[in-house]
Amino acid sequence: MRARVFVMLKPSVFDPQGTTVADALHTLGYASVTAVRQGKYFELDIDAKTEDEARRIASEAADKLLANPVIESYRIDIEKTEAAKR
């Protein structure tokens, strides 16, 4: 199984990097881009039998390490892969 974990700063938390990227895009002429938020993306290959098991493990990993609950939230997508054979 492959878990895709998207970690983003919570909406209430100011994102200096995203703001800087937005400013750069405006400098490049992309006036239509009104806001940018920058986050982190992880791919976890997990040796799990079911999607639920993979989700549980990815969720635990996100809670413990991948995201800091004080400032970040996360979303997990699970995809079936041939990972077990590799």
Min dist. Cβ of residue 22 to another protein (A): 12
Token pair of 75 as six digits: 């979303």
Q: Which residues bind another protein (CB under 8 A)?
A: 9, 12-17, 20, 65-66, 68, 70-71
CA 14 to chain centre: 17
Between CA 59 and CA 56, with CA 2 as vertex, the angle to 5 degrees is 25
Min dist. Cβ of residue 49 to another protein (A): 27
Q: Which is nearer to another protein, 15 or 54 (CB)?
A: 15
Q: In sequence order, which residues have a C-beta less than 8 Å from that of residue 86 and are 6 or more positions away?
A: 45
Q: Which is nearer to another protein, 7 or 83 (CB)?
A: 7
